[in-house]
């Protein structure tokens, strides 16, 4: 007897059941793939699980696009140290949420999120639209990006957080925060500013933001840190300084800690002034200068490289491991050749002056002594030809407006050190710096003031080279300090 032939309806039912089962299996795997795609895809409008690695920058509401294959929990995440760090930042963010600086629907970014503990803390507190950036990616919490170039569009973030280590280019970082943060958005930073100078230098980097509050607190390892909360607002850029400037109070505080000026004229200035240099309190030994855009040293009246750049600034001045741009301003052409082979030094072969004009450069020597080029004397610049018995020792040189040049080269966000030895021209240059507002660009100045000092060679006789008195020099130093400039007496 032949076996019964299955009815078409039964066969159809079997096929439908098999197809349904297959679809169910695919759906489950599909759901698992979505679930494992990583937290960074949760808040993205794009279907990021279709891609292993998508571009980060985009328009509209798209912020974080990151695909993931088979994610696994890193061993680091299972350690007690990891959990302790997450809990620390969780407490920080809970305070910020309570104060209204951070909302559950905020698009949040953690900068230099080394292992992502701060990102996870945000997500555990309900801020699911959060991601971190660091040089090294750590999916799904951190994407790879420079802290000076975030992979997000302009005004796309509501909240940014950074636990700042010393930054190589802090100004570029601050500009990127200003670019990516929305108007009304908040930037929170933990910095190690130990003094008022460093704290205010940090604030000055963020021209787009207003300080909301700051507080001192314990860091992860109990090291003191300062938490700063800033809000992005429409603010006018400072741009170039006008003819007047106001030196902030924190710079004036530094002056109170500086060495005292010598009130009485020294009988042996060549000894007293050199001794005084040992008492100098350098700004960089009193304050943190880490949060500056650039570091610039300007030697006005530099003479040869070894005169002060090589012998003093390079060897003695405390630089806090910062690389300085060096400008040597020297009108005497005798010294120009030496600078051609000096890397990192820019020579300006002109005389610092109060305006752009041709000047006369007078070489000074002792009467009765023959001048040779190798032992060329000190020179003075004058706007009119001097009456001198040594007419062959007067050169024509080009002078330039030093104050205007300084305003075109540096900004208030830079750290600027100036040494000035200009054979009496300081009585013209300093007033112009004050009147033009350029003086506010100088953080520290070492000034040699030239006066009719007692001569080393001839007891009881004063030098006929300069007409100013020591009292006038002291008045110049005092005026600078009253204007908030940290000035030191140079020899």
- pLDDT digits over 363-420, tens only? 655 444 444 444 344 556 666 555 554 455 677 899 999 999 999 999 999 999 999 9
pTM: 0.78
Spatial separation of the C-alpha atoms in residues 453 and 450, rounded to whole Å: 8
Domain architecture of the chain: domains with CATH:
73-232 (3.40.50.150), 264-489 (3.40.50.720)
In terms of residues, how long is the chain?
Answer: 491
pLDDT value for 327: 98
pLDDT value for 91: 96
Spatial separation of the C-alpha atoms in residues 85 and 88, rounded to whole Å: 5
pLDDT exceeds 90 at position 454: no
**Average confidence score pLDDT of the chain:** 81
Q: DSSP string covering 42-82, please?
A: TT-SS-GGG-SS--S--STT-------SS----GGGGSHHH
Q: Which of 108, 92, 105 is nearest to 186 (CA)?
A: 108
Spatial separation of the C-alpha atoms in residues 37 and 29, rounded to whole Å: 12
Span 301-321, average pLDDT: 94
Angle at 245 between CA 244 and CA 248, to 5 degrees: 160
| Helices and strands: H and E segment counts in the chain | 11, 17
Q: Six-digit token pair at 299?
A: 């030697």
Beta carbons within 8 Å of 198's beta carbon, 6+ residues apart: 191, 287, 288, 289, 290, 291
pLDDT exceeds 60 at position 265: yes
Q: What is the pLDDT of residues 40-99, one digit of tens each?
A: 444 333 323 223 333 333 333 334 444 444 445 566 677 888 899 999 999 999 999 999
| Percentage helix, strand, coil for the chain under 3-state DSSP, each rounded to 5 | 35, 20, 45
């Amino acid at each position: 007897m032949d076996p019964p032939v299955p009815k078409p309806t039964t066969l159809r039912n079997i096929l439908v059941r098999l197809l349904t089962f297959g679809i169910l299996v695919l759906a489950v795997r599909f759901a698992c793939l979505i679930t494992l795609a990583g937290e960074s895809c949760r808040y993205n409008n794009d279907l990021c699980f279709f891609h292993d690695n998508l571009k980060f920058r985009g328009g509209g509401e798209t912020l974080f696009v990151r695909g993931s294959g088979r994610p696994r929990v890193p061993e680091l995440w299972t350690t007690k140290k990891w959990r302790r760090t997450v809990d620390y930042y969780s407490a920080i963010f809970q305070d910020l949420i309570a104060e209204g600086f951070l909302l559950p629907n905020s698009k949040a970014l953690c900068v230099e999120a080394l292992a992502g503990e701060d990102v996870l803390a945000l997500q555990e507190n309900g801020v699911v639209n959060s991601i971190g950036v660091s040089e090294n990616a750590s999916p799904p919490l951190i994407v790879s990006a420079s802290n000076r170039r975030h992979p997000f569009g302009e005004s796309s973030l509501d909240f940014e957080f950074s636990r700042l280590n010393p930054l190589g280019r802090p100004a570029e970082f601050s500009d990127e925060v200003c670019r990516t943060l929305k108007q009304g958005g908040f930037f929170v930073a933990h910095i190690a500013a130990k003094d008022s100078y460093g704290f205010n230098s940090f604030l000055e980097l963020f021209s787009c933001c207003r300080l909301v509050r700051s507080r001192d607190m314990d860091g992860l390892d109990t090291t003191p840190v300062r938490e700063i909360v800033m809000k992005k607002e429409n603010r006018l850029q400072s741009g170039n300084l006008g003819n007047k400037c106001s030196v902030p109070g924190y710079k004036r505080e530094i002056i109170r800690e500086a060495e005292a000026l010598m009130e009485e004229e020294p009988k042996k200035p060549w000894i007293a002034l050199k001794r005084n240099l040992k008492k100098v309190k350098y700004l960089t030994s009193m304050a943190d200068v880490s949060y500056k855009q650039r570091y610039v040293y300007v030697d006005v009246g530099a003479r040869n490289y070894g005169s002060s750049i090589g012998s003093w600034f390079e060897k003695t001045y405390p630089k806090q491991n910062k690389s300085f741009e060096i400008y040597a301003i020297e009108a005497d052409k005798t010294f120009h050749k030496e600078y051609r082979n000096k890397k990192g030094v820019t020579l300006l072969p002109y005389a610092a002056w109060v305006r752009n004009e041709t000047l006369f450069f007078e070489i000074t020597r002792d009467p009765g002594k023959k001048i040779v080029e190798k032992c060329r004397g000190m020179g003075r610049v004058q706007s009119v030809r001097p009456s001198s018995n040594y007419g062959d020792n007067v050169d024509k040189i080009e002078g330039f407006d030093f104050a205007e040049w300084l305003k075109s080269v540096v900004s208030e966000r830079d750290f600027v050190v100036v040494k000035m030895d200009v054979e009496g021209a300081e009585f013209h240059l300093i007033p112009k710096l004050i009147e033009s507002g350029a003086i506010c660009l100088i953080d520290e100045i070492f000034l040699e003031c030239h006066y009719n000092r007692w001569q080393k060679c001839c007891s009881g006789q004063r030098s006929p080279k300069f007409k100013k008195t020591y009292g006038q020099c002291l008045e110049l130093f005092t005026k600078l300090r009253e204007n908030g400039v940290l000035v030191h007496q140079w020899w």
